[in-house]
Copies of this chain bind each other. A is one copy, B any other.
Amino acid sequence: MGDAALSLEHVLVIFYQNMPAELEELIQTKFPDAEVTIYHSQKDVPVPSELYQSATILATFADLPDLKDSKNLKLIHTFSAGVDHLLQHPIVRETKIPLTTSSGIHGPPIAEWTIMNWLVSSRKYVKGYEAQKSHLWDKAVYNPGLHDQVGKKVGILGYGSIGRQIARVSHALGMTVHAYTATPRLTPESRHDRGYIVPGTGDPDGSIPASWHHGTDRESIRSFLATGLDHLVVSLPLTPETTRVLATEEFAILSKHSQHHSKPYVTNISRGKVIDQKALVDALNSGVLGGAALDVTDPEPLPKDDPLWDASNVQISPHVSALGFEYFPRSLDILAVNLERIARGQPLINAYVRGKGY
């Protein structure tokens, strides 16, 4: 009995906000062989030391224990896709406690957000919505210009887990997919997705793109933009090189080479600053671009008087594309996979490598 108790993991899950009871129940079922404590973190109130001390496994956004409270911890899992916000903490700098991320879980919701925005635009959803509010049955509100996505070309700048799920759905819609990555992916092996993949989604072996392109300089990106794209999806990390990498000239190149009757549509799901926002507003209002879907802006929140709000054919949402009921269960699926891997002595998935820099 004593031995069994010693081997039982104690999973401490720290949420920022209250969760629906249904979600808490679901989370308890993820770890049938462990003791699970769910703690609701409050702003400016530290998590009790005793809780940290008794935990062997910690799942958290950004709450981390002091070094002295970490001695039982075997693994820290963050609900974030990255670890930038944790890198300065002593737990990361001064211990070797393995740290895993939630990278990979954002593909399905962000892909759904993306496809939704494309179709809302191409199929004029808002026209129908406004007509319904007025109880108006009128096909004419859809004229002219309904068109569909079959045969359209989508270029995806940054072919990670999100880009891959967008690719998967795009391909099913009858589109062709063109991938752009920082480093060359010349062999089939190099095109595999190495992170966590939500089962039944994504492009695990990188077989969907009709072509692969790469580079980190502006010229390489411009060459990609000149390949005749109908859609450009921006899924790049924000770095000094990618800051405002898409500006007036880039939108002009994209527009000049588009092959269909509708002008190119830009989707940004990475960071607002990857785009020169004033140039984007001009490109939309002048018809250089056909439309844009933006879940991110520069700055956030977008000020009330920003001209982006009313630019032509722009659809803006307040950085919500990754959100949803499935977020936490899916993140904890990664943790559950890793607990099994620990038990079997296998390497962790989604592990942060200290010193790698991101």
Contacts and interface: CB of A to CB of B under 8 A. Distances in A.
A201 interface: yes
Nearest to A137: B301
A219 to B, nearest CB: 32
A119 interface: yes
Given A137-B301, A142-B320, 9 more contacts: A112-B123, A126-B129, A128-B315, A129-B315, A132-B316, A136-B304, A138-B318, A174-B199, A174-B200
Interface of A: 20, 22, 108-109, 111-113, 115-116, 119-120, 122-123, 125-126, 128-129, 131-132, 135-139, 142, 144-151, 168-169, 171-174, 198-201, 261, 300-302, 304-306, 309, 315-320, 323-326
A123 B119 contact: no
Taking chain A's interface residues, is the majority helix, strand, or loop, or is none over half, making it mixed? Answer: loop
A127 to B, nearest CB: 9
Contacts of A318: 128, 131, 137-139
A261 B302 CA distance: 33
B137 A300 contact: yes
Interface centre among A200, A261, A317, by most chain B C-beta atoms within 10 angstroms, is A317
B108 A115 contact: no
A172 B169 contact: yes
A305 B280 CA distance: 43
A109 B148 contact: yes
A246 to B, nearest CB: 21
A86 to B, nearest CB: 23
Given A116-B120, A142-B320, A150 B20 contact: no
Given A123-B113, A125-B116, A317-B128, A174 B146 contact: no
Given A112-B123, A120-B116, A324 B148 contact: yes
Nearest to A122: B112
When A and B form their complex, which 8 residue pairs have the shortest distance between CB atoms, in order from nearest? A172-B172, A137-B301, A116-B119, A146-B324, A174-B200, A147-B325, A174-B201, A135-B304
Given A147-B326, A318-B137, A323-B146, A108 B198 contact: no
A319 B172 contact: no
